[in-house]
Chains A and B, each alone.
Chain A
Amino acid sequence: MARRISTTHRVTATAAGWLVGFLIFFPILWMVLTSFKTELDAFSTPPQFLFFHWTTENYAIVQERSNYLHHAMNSIILAFGSTAVALVVAIPAAWSMAFAPTKRTRDTLLWMLSTKMMPPVGVLVPIYLLFRDGGLLDTHIGLIMVEFLANLPIVVWMLYTYFKEIPKDILEAARMDGATIGKELIFVLAPMAVPGIASTVLLNVILAWNEAFWTLNLTTVDAAPLTTFIASYSSPEGLFWAKLSAASTLAIAPILVLGWFSQKQLVRGLTFGAVK
């Protein structure tokens, strides 16, 4: 029996919901609006909401003066590079723990989780010195390594929870039918594992894209992704709000779109399966 919901309830809830949603989203909306203003309009009091002189010059200037594309490329390389390496290492591990668990599987999983709890600042000094001595500061390879290791526990965990849901009976059925291990992998398991792997990739790319401790400390120019690039706008002489807004809008747009598709995976990935 469906519950009856009064119209008043519906209207109040809708009004309150939209108001709260709008308030929370407002800083992002304001940033996007500001990115289309002239610097003069961006600073003006009272603020200009919609009826200002719309311009896209900020976007052109951001690319021209500060080589935005170079940093965007670095973000892509770091996010996808570290995710790819993590998958190669994590898929076999998650696979074996989900399909051939031993007495120690539980402890292994929890231990992996505990490595994620280590505050990065606890290992900042040695990592920085190792990178300096190894010539890895401000390089793609160095950053990919760090991001890969920092997120490996989450990747293993997420894959594990997805693989765990693949019914094992299917494997046995396939074996009964005389499928070899190779065929079993390609025709039976892979199709069932792909959605879980895709979700994991999505979440990990988002996390790596926004990671700002290691990127700020270990990159300056060559390998600097968008997090570091935006940080350069914090210097007093660089305070051009419209340009800051344009650069910021470009930096978050792709990941915002990906993020909106990943709500469910986010809950699962970040709570290590404790809330589904």
Chain B
Amino acid sequence: MATQQTRTLGRVLLAPSVILLFLWMIVPLGMTIWFSLLRYNLLDPGTESFVGLLNYQYFLTDPAFFAALANTLILVGSVLAITVIGGILIALLMDQPIFGRGIVRLMVIAPFFVMPTVSALVWKNLLMHPVSGLFAWVAGLLGLPAIDWFTNWPLLSIILIVAWQWLPFATLILLTALQSFDEEQKEAAEMDGTPAISFFFLLVLPHLARAITVVILIETIFLLSVFAEILVTTGGGPGLATTNIAFLVYAQALLQYDVGGASAGGIVAVVLANIVAIFLVRLVGKNLDA
């Protein structure tokens, strides 16, 4: 039974976290909204003026915005597809009687701990380089022409790198969920002689549904903000080929010094992320009650 005293104590203990997070969220966000309504260029200080929704009009009608939006959606969608499908397959494999499973598991999750700048540069140079990269050598062995990844398939190259980083996350979560699958159900299905395919679609996949949802939502949140991988490999190019919303806002703010326009873009990014966030928060909330 919580007494008045413990309740007050609880509030005091909670206050620093709540206040700091509130400030962290509301002050910069409020400033972003305010800047987004100004004409404000860092190269031209002292000339700020209120322009209403003009920045949004510019940003949302800029062809660069549509290119960036398309790139963002393609990037997020492709990485999700690769990591979820690949993650399910690898998790199913890891759940098998593998000799030395612990070590295999370590190898599979390792990419998740590699910092983004390292994975991007190692892939770009050591693997994807059109002349000396390992992929070019493998293509040569197979009698295929070497691919100039970052020139001809820039967005695909980024997708592969990011998918490699997130595949372990999906695998790990799906494997955790898979291991809570009822052993008895497995045995019963085996005795009934249920074919492996229908066993998977009728029993395993529904069991994984929740974990898959979690993977999709959490990855989406992070994938909407992919930045370092683009910065160190393509710088958003060639042209706008690998510019996503996050990179576009960065370029507008810190390369073109257009604070107003970048802020409008930032708010658009916040709105996009919030659409996903609502679903995730609901899902987690449901779990909290259970």
Q: A24-B167, A47-B137 are in contact. Are A152 and B269 (CB under 8 A)?
A: no
Complex contact B98–A121 (CB within 8 A): no
Contact indicator B245/A121 (Cβ below 8 Å): yes
Smallest CB–CB gap between B172 and chain A, Å? 6
Q: Which of B244-290 contact A (CB under 8 A)?
A: 245-246, 249-250, 253-254, 259, 262-263, 265-267, 269-270, 272-274, 276-277, 280-281, 283-285, 287-289
Query: With A121-B249, A212-B115 in contact, is A14–B9 under 8 Å at CB?
Result: no
Tell me if A112 is interfacial: C-beta within 8 Å of chain B: yes
For the complex, is B201 an interface residue (Cβ under 8 Å from A)? no
Instruction: Evaluate whether A120 and B122 lie within 8 angstroms (CB atoms) in the complex, with A17-B104, A102-B7, A152-B21 already known.
Output: no
Is B43 an interface residue, CB under 8 A from the partner? no
Number of interface residues of A (CB under 8 A): 97
- List chain B residues, Cβ under 8 A from A9: 96-97
CA distance A106 to B280 in the complex (A): 15
CA–CA, A244 and B124, complex, Å? 12
- A2 shortest CB reach to chain B, Å: 10
Contact indicator A124/B228 (Cβ below 8 Å) = no
Interface: B177 (CB within 8 A) = yes
* Binding stretch for chain A, among B23-31, B59-67, B151-159: B23-31
A89→B103 CA distance, assembly (Å): 37
Contact B273 A119 (CB under 8 A): yes
Cβ A270 vs Cβ B169 within 8 A: yes
Interface string of A97-126 (1 = CB under 8 A from B): 100101000101110111111111111111
- Cα-based distance from A241 to B131 in the complex (angstroms): 13
For B49, list chain A residues within 8 Å (CB).
none
The docked-state distance in angstroms from the alpha carbon of A217 to that of B272 is 22
Q: Given that A17-B98, A272-B284 are known contacts, is A119 also in contact with B17, CB under 8 Å in the complex?
A: no
Q: Name A254-272 residues within 8 Å CB distance of B.
A: 255-256, 258-260, 263, 266-267, 270-272
Q: How far is the CA of A124 from the CA of B35 in the complex (A)?
A: 12
Nearest to B285 among chain A residues (CB) is A110
Would A212 and B98 be within 8 Å (CB), given that A274-B287, A275-B211 are in contact? Answer: no
Interface pair A118/B10, CB less than 8 Å apart: no
Which residues of B sit under 8 angstroms from A266, Cβ to Cβ? 112, 169, 172
Contacts of B169 in A (CB 8 A): 266, 270
A179 at the B interface (CB under 8 A): no
CB-CB < 8 A to B9: which residues of A? 96, 100
Partner of B29, one of A20, A123, A149: A123
Residues of A within 8 A of B16 (CB): 89, 92-93
Q: Which B residues are CB-close (under 8 A) to A14?
A: 97-100
State whether the Cβ of A52 lies closer than 8 Å to any Cβ in chain B: no
The answer to the question of B134 belonging to the interface, with a C-beta cut-off of 8 Å to chain A, is: yes
CB <8 Å contact, B123 and A27? yes
Contact residues, A25-71 vs B (CB, 8 A): 25, 27-28, 30-31, 34, 43-47
Q: Does B32 contact A (CB under 8 A)?
A: yes
Q: Is the CB of B100 within 8 A of A234?
A: no
Q: A122-B29, A231-B117 are in contact. Are A117 and B106 (CB under 8 A)?
A: no
Residues in B with CB closer than 8 Å to A233 are 121
Which of A5, A110, A126 is close to B288, meaning CB atoms less than 8 Å apart? A110
Of A43, A156, A274, the contact of B283 (CB 8 Å cutoff)? A274
Residues of B within 8 Å of A115, CB to CB, are 21, 24-25
Which of A25, A46, A120, A152 sits near B108, CB closer than 8 Å? Answer: A25
A216 engages B228 (CB within 8 Å): yes
A23 to chain B, nearest CB (A): 9
Q: List 21 A-B contacts (CB under 8 A).
A: A16-B93, A21-B105, A25-B110, A27-B111, A28-B110, A45-B137, A96-B14, A97-B10, A102-B7, A112-B21, A114-B281, A121-B225, A121-B245, A121-B250, A125-B263, A152-B24, A213-B227, A258-B113, A259-B109, A267-B173, A271-B173
Which residues of A are interface residues toward B (Cβ below 8 A)?
1, 3, 5, 9-10, 13-14, 16-18, 20-22, 24-25, 27-28, 30-31, 34, 43-47, 89-90, 92-93, 95-97, 100, 102, 106, 108-110, 112-130, 149, 152-153, 156, 206, 209-210, 212-213, 216-217, 226-228, 230-231, 233-234, 239, 241, 244-245, 248, 251-252, 255-256, 258-260, 263, 266-267, 270-276
Additional pairs, 4, CB under 8 Å, beyond known A18-B98, A125-B263, A126-B32: A9-B96, A122-B32, A245-B122, A252-B118
Q: Which B residues fall within an 8 A CB radius of A?
A: 2, 6-7, 9-11, 13-14, 16-18, 20-21, 24-25, 27-29, 31-32, 35, 90, 93-94, 96-101, 103-119, 121-123, 125-127, 131-132, 134, 136-137, 164, 167-169, 172-173, 176-177, 186-187, 190, 210-211, 214, 218, 221, 224-225, 227-228, 231-233, 245-246, 249-250, 253-254, 259, 262-263, 265-267, 269-270, 272-274, 276-277, 280-281, 283-285, 287-289
Closest 3 CB pairs of A and B: A259-B113, A117-B277, A126-B31
